[in-house]
Structure 1
Amino acid sequence: MSTGTSSPTGHDTPAPGLPATPVPGPGQLPLIGNLPAFSRDPLGFFARLRGHGDVVSWRLGPQRALFLSQPEHIGELLAGVETNYRHPELGWAFKLVLGEGVVTSEGAAWRRKRALVQPVVRPRQVRAYAETMVDCASSLADTWEPGAHIDVRRDMLGLTQRIAVRTLFGTDTAGREGVIGPAMDIAQAAIGDEFRGLTLFLPPWVPTPGRRRLKKAVAVIDSEVNRVTEERHRGGADRDDLLSRLLAARDEQGDRLTDKEIRDEAVTLYIGGHETTGTTLTWAWYLLSRSPEARRRLAEELAAVLDGRTPGFDDFKELRWTEQIIRETLRLYPPVWLMTGIAKEGSTLGGRPVPEGTVLWASQWSAQRDERWFAEPDAFRPERWDEGATPVPDHAWFPFGGGARACLGARFATVEAVLVLATLAQRFRLDLDPGEIPPRTGLTLQPGRPVRATLRSA
């Protein structure tokens, strides 16, 4: 899974070639455009937009927007952020929580921060955290008993929260998850609520109950991150965790990240390593519970590769079916379910000019369920990622984004999801309660109802 400018299938971003002629979308209301339909059901709304054509015009409130469905156009958008398109403002809540981190900054500031943060999550560094991932998963499995009933999402988020805290702040912070975790949950929920509603367009000074809750949660987050950062400054010890690597990072001029920048990058890494991976694992258990054949092949692979021992980083490349389960889960239920960019002056798409200020939208949920690129698009079929299977067009699968602003933590998240799934699945089978689980859009694509399961011995 690539995090550079290449596509997930390993090819370079194609040169613009496919014409992009906008077609009108659904009817709009005065002033608010398509906001009510989008707010009620964003995923269904995107599916309807896709039915109109490959480049569809619509409005989110006063914003002029284009929705993209062709992978070639999506590739142009992903490759053009920072050149043809600027990074969008994602709301007051988003900015309050993530600050001026690598996700929200632009231009020279973004390039500096990316250069400082990227080495922290390189594959060589991810290897160092694999043991923590497996240890935390094994500790969770030790608390499970055959026949017990569990809340899958609660356990997966709790597990990835422990992994995030320990890889970010170090093992000496064990037990602190109960301090920062609830505050992060409030923050992430507030971002999702704001994005779907009218508060996205309210000025920052307008008070709402949700904003008051968010401010309190952010104060807790800031206090906890600052506490650990100050301890590191006083102690001066060289530790093998993400925070220590951020503290040690230097830019080309030899300057460090400020404590405020450390805070912003730490929160960004925490959210990326906790909520998204925990949600992916929850959806993976849901899909496996509904696919006996996929579950059988998983058990066979774990027995053949691991032979009863816990996995390590070196097993990752051999756990191919396990990774294909994660890849297919990311296709059907991508935690990050949309990408946007705002056209700069002189921007083009498919060789045609795009008016300055137009917001271009692409949805992982929509593109990755398009029957033109995926046979039986709503079916869980990990075998579609087998070697020799029909290749997927570049940028039809982009759960980690793409281009220069691709997710820096993609490798970390993929290794974590595979090793955690392997560790737990070699000991337990999860039989979920019957019935469909609809997705709910927030900061990430979450289950719309509790995900409960009965534990069985593997």
Structure 2
Amino acid sequence: MDAIYLGLFGVVIGVVLWWWNEYWYVLPLKFKCLKSSTKLPPGHMGLPFIGEMISFLWYFKIVRRPDDFINAKQCKYGDGGGMFRTHLFGEPSIIVYTPAVNKFVLFSDTNFKQEWPTVELMGVTSMVAVHGKAHTRVRNFVTNAINRPDALSRIAALVQPHIVTALRSWDDMGKIKAKVETQKMSFESIAKLFLGKEPGDFLNSLDKLYQGVLPGVRAYPINVPGFAYHHALRCRRKLEKIFYMELDKRKSKNENMVETIDLMDGLMQIEDDEGDKLSDKEVVDNIVSLVLGGYISTSLVSMWAIYLLAKHPNVLEKLREENMALTKGSPEDYITSKDVSNLKYTNKVFLLIMQIDTTSVPICKRQIVTFFWSFL
């Protein structure tokens, strides 16, 4: 009898755990929906605290087929108006996946604000973390710092030598690990553009710290030793300390307002219409997040470009012909910003690779007002 009671108790506990999030989060909303004759998106909120993170990590980390996480929900719940409810990263969430719904969420600033589950890693005053007027203000500072006079020419002149050096080293190596080498190339190029730093011990230490931050961006936000998020926070604080030291060093050198060299100098020196500048905290937060974002996106696109071009040698040959014709056959000549618009075939290939590369970090937005949507 004891075994039977124990089994029944286990079943009851299992049922309670399975439906706990539904009762806690969904039931109150269903009562509201009854009054307005609307309905909630289909889905299940998973287990208490962890939600559906186990299933999410299975598809993203183990199987390495993230699209199947969405596909499995579509098969289970049907179209659902292009969305389903779940519980991820410690938060009740709605996942949207059709173009129409994505467009509504992305461009509806009155209903949603951009917010990362791991906002502490990006920086609380960074462009990706602030909202409304604060976001517009920081965005204007960043875009003005980047889009300085002759910005494209300066970027081309700074980045191309690093890329050419990397490509030649790959040729000497014969066989490479594309992910490792593209990450190295991307980080060195971004560090030169954003921080004015050349490869060396300083850059190697920064690279290791960013490698520690990256896993925490998609990790469950548990700030306990042994978890990826905790390690990422520690690495982020070390990066912040390094950049504050770099900031102070530049202030002592740039008292006479010397010419802007890189993005960090630009963020320090740029002023708005009222003559105000970014605070030190805003400069550091945005440098950390911009380097991190550029690191992720650039290395992924580069890796996919290498993989896809290796699979399609005819496309690679056409790219080579177009680029060599532009440089008049001299491999020592760099492409200028004015040349980019003339690379018609190269631009088409680049756009196609960008469409194929769907492994970027998801965009997270938080609802800021309660509203009813008739899309369902």
What TM-score do you get using the length of structure 2 for normalisation?
0.76
Distance in 1 (CA, whole Å) between partners of 2:230 and 2:173 is: 42
User: CA distance change for structure 1 residues 126 and 22 in 2, over 3 Å: closer, same or farther?
Assistant: farther
Q: Which has a greater percent of strand?
A: 1
- Provide, for residues 52-91 of structure 1, a one-character-per-residue CA deviation record: whole Å limited to 9, x for no partner: 21423221157544333331221111111x3111223412
CA distance in 1, matches of 2:239, 2:205: 8
Preserved contact between residue 322 and residue 345 of structure 2 (Cα < 8 Å): yes
Return 5+ residue gaps in structure 1 as ranges: 1-19, 354-458
CA distance in 2, matches of 1:141, 1:346: 52
Structure with larger Rg: 2
Q: Measure how far apart 1:21 and its partner are.
A: 8.0
Counterpart pick for 1:137 among 159, 163, 166: 163
2:72 to 48, 53, 56: 48
Amino acid of the structure 1 residue aligned with 2:341: K
Deviation at 1:264, TM superposition (A): 0.5
Q: Kindly report which structure 2 residues correspond to 1:80-229, keeping only aligned pairs within 5 A, or say none.
A: 80=108, 82-91=109-118, 94-122=119-147, 124-145=150-171, 148-171=174-197, 176-192=202-218, 194=219, 199-200=220-221, 202=222, 204=223, 206-229=224-247
Q: Give the corresponding residue for 1:66.
A: 94
2:27 aligned partner: none
Would the alpha carbon gap of residues 176 and 314 (structure 1) be closer, same or farther in structure 2, given more than 3 Å must change? farther
Partner of 1:234: 252
Q: Is 1:245 aligned with 2:266?
A: yes
* Distance of 1:284 and 1:22 partners within structure 2: 41
1:160–1:278 contact (8 Å) kept in structure 2: yes
For 1:295 and 1:28, the matched residues in 2 are separated by: 46
Give 1:260's match in structure 2, choosing from 281, 285, 308. Answer: 281
1:136 is displaced (CA, Å) by: 0.8
Q: Percent identity?
A: 17
In the alignment, residue 188 of structure 2 is paired with which amino acid?
Answer: R
Alignment of 1:311 with 2:344, yes or no, is no
How many Å apart are 1:171 and its aligned residue? 4.9
Rounded to whole Å, the distance in 1 between the matches of 2:239 and 2:116 is 22
Higher relative contact order at CA 8 Å, sep ≥6: structure 1 or structure 2? 1
| Structure 2 unmatched ranges of 5 or more | 1-37, 61-65
- 1:130 Cα deviation after fit: 0.9
CA contact (8 A) 1:85 1:343 kept: yes
More helix by share: 2
Q: Is the 8 A contact 1:247 1:262 kept in 2?
A: yes
**d(CA) in 1 for partners of 2:249, 2:359:** 33
| 2:362 alignment counterpart | 338
| Number of residue pairs the alignment of both structures matches | 321
Q: Give the counterpart letter for 1:251 in structure 2.
A: D
Q: CA deviation at 1:335?
A: 4.3
With normalisation by structure 1, the TM-score equals 0.63
1:41 maps to amino acid: Y
The yes-or-no answer on 1:24 pairing with 2:48 is no
For 2:98 and 2:121, the matched residues in 1 are separated by 33
Whether the 8 Å CA contact 1:166–1:174 is kept in 2: the answer is: no
Deviation at 1:352, TM superposition (A): 5.1
Asked whether the equivalents of residues 21 and 55 of structure 1 are also in contact (C-alpha less than 8 Å), the reply is no
Query: Structure 1 residues 337, 265: closer, same or farther in 2, change over 3 A?
Result: closer
